[in-house]
């Protein structure tokens, strides 16, 4: 691989004689890994990722597009190193505890869909992405994974600076120079320069400063990048400690994991070096906020449309009540023409966010209503707590499932008429409406499989 000379020189200063093994590893194949959704797919056989209870390596990269279980949200294709985030939640946070989490740079959704399974249904994850097109991809992936404890937002970090100590935990997978992805993304090599890496570090500090005010005192800041660059990693930790009084938090790791632990001045960082682990280059650190006197950011004067649904009366929603397995802390709300399942904590968080950030999705979209008929939503089909027995199921073969996912017309007749749940191997994919002699396909147009 034709690596930049300045990059090689810096690695030599950083890792000494070990840098040669690191640069050689960039020529090795990039491993493929997935994280299964344990509430949808209970069993999976394969080589386990050692730092994740639900992560697995695959022997080769299949064509995920033509696997209906991928579209059903049974698993997520995620880089193995980034699944180390799980250790923070399992070691430092209790799943029994009700917490609020912000994933600030969340698209396409690997970490957010992971976090949503590591917190309970009464906790709230705000999953944010600043770029609108990527935010829509994030929303789609959140819906397909089927957790109901997420609010998806589309705002710059500066809009969160007006919030005061709202979150127990903030995750920042910061935009970086991408050195850890060189073997996976050759464009990252072409775009790399010392100057661009330096600009990344400046941008990272701006992002960090914007969100520090909305982290609670003693809250956790999880900072990660996909680069080896100390200016974007270790030096950022030192800056957070010196300027804002953050303290480092150490994680327990197994020696067999071969993770490189950096420790200096009670700060800790975990480096995933491609010559030592089976995964891409990655850096993660956990810090604790010790002070609560961080100044709130100045008002941006930009206000977004409030996304505040109204509680439905029981009579209005009784036809759809048995469509889901609902928790005591949840209620069904109406926003415009749609009915959403939301928890009490989500409503509180939405009130905090109010018109400060742009909310594009929250809870679970259950249905819309037209001419007194409830029309089930795509999100309902993929919700992990859908009551499948409440619907007539249309069991699809692999060929029929792929036809459904392409949004083709389904040449299937049925004695049943009305809404039916399209199912593949007991996993819901979406909705069809049976007219007896034919089926109308209600798979979302923007999700359809193309070029197959």
Determine contact, residues 285/224, Cβ cutoff 8 Å: yes
CA separation for the pair 244, 246 (Å, rounded): 6
CATH code reported for the domain at 391-452: 3.10.450.720
Residue 290 makes CB contacts below 8 A (sequence gap 6+) with: 217, 218, 245, 246, 247
Beta strand 150-153 with 124-128 is: parallel
Q: Which amino acids are annotated catalytic?
A: 226
Rounded to the nearest 5 degrees, what angle is found at the Cα of 440, between the Cα atoms of 435 and 445? 165
Task: Provide the whole-model pTM.
Answer: 0.96
Per-residue pLDDT of the chain in tens (452 residues, 90 and over written 9):
789 999 999 999 999 999 999 999 999 999 999 999 988 987 788 899 999 999 999 999 999 999 999 999 999 999 999 999 999 999 999 999 999 999 999 999 999 999 999 999 999 999 999 999 999 999 999 999 999 999 999 999 999 999 999 999 999 999 999 999 999 888 889 999 999 999 999 999 999 999 999 999 999 999 999 999 999 999 999 999 999 999 999 999 999 999 999 999 999 999 999 999 999 999 999 999 998 866 666 666 677 877 888 999 888 899 999 999 999 999 999 998 899 999 999 999 999 998 899 999 999 999 999 988 999 999 999 999 999 999 999 999 999 999 999 999 888 877 788 999 999 999 999 999 998 778 899 999 999 998 77
CA distances, 374 to each of 34, 207, 444 (Å): 36, 43, 17
DSSP 131-198: SHHHHHHHHHHHHHHT-SSEEEE---GGGGGGS-S-EEEEEEE-----GGGTTT-HHHHHH--HHHHH
Question: Domain residue spans in the chain?
Answer: 391-452
């Amino acid at each position: 691989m034709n690596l930049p000379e300045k990059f090689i020189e810096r690695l030599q200063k950083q890792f000494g004689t070990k840098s040669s093994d690191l640069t050689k590893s960039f020529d090795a194949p990039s491993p493929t890994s997935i994280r299964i959704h344990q509430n949808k797919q209970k069993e999976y056989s394969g080589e386990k990722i050692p730092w994740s209870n639900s992560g697995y390596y695959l022997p080769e990269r299949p064509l995920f597009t033509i696997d209906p279980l991928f579209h059903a949200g049974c698993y997520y294709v995620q880089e193995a190193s980034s699944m180390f985030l799980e250790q923070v939640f399992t070691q430092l946070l209790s799943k029994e505890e009700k917490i609020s989490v912000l994933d600030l740079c969340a698209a396409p959704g690997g970490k957010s869909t992971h976090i949503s399974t590591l917190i309970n249904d009464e906790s709230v994850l705000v999953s944010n992405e600043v770029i609108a097109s990527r935010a829509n991809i994030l929303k789609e992936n959140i819906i397909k994974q089927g957790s109901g404890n997420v609010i998806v937002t589309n705002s710059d970090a500066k809009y969160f600076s007006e919030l005061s100590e709202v979150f127990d935990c903030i995750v920042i997978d910061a935009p970086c120079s991408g050195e850890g992805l060189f073997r996976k993304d050759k464009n990252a090599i072409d775009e790399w320069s010392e100057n661009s890496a330096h600009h990344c570090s400046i941008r990272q500090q701006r992002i960090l400063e914007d969100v520090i005010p909305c982290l609670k005192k003693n809250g956790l800041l999880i900072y990660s990048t996909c680069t080896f660059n100390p200016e974007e990693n270790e030096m950022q930790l030192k800056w957070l400690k010196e300027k804002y009084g953050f303290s480092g938090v150490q994680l327990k790791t197994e020696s067999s994991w071969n993770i490189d632990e950096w420790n200096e001045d009670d700060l800790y960082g975990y480096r995933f070096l491609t010559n030592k682990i089976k995964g891409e280059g990655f850096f993660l650190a956990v810090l604790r906020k010790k002070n609560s006197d961080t100044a709130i950011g100045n008002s941006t004067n930009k206000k977004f449309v409030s996304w505040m649904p109204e509680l439905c009366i029981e009579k209005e929603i009784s036809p759809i009540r048995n469509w889901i397995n609902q928790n005591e802390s949840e209620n069904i709300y109406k926003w415009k023409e749609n009915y959403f399942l939301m928890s009490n904590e989500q409503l509180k968080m939405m009130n905090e966010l109010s018109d400060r950030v742009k909310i594009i999705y929250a809870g679970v979209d259950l249905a819309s209503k037209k001419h007194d008929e409830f029309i089930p939503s795509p999100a309902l089909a993929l919700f992990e707590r859908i009551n499948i027995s409440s619907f007539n199921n249309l069991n699809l073969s692999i060929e029929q499932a792929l036809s459904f996912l392409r949004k083709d017309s389904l040449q299937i007749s049925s004695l049943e008429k009305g809404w039916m749940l399209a199912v593949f191997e007991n996993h819901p994919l979406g909705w069809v409406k049976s007219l007896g002699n034919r089926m109308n396909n209600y798979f979302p147009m923007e999700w359809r499989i193309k070029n197959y």
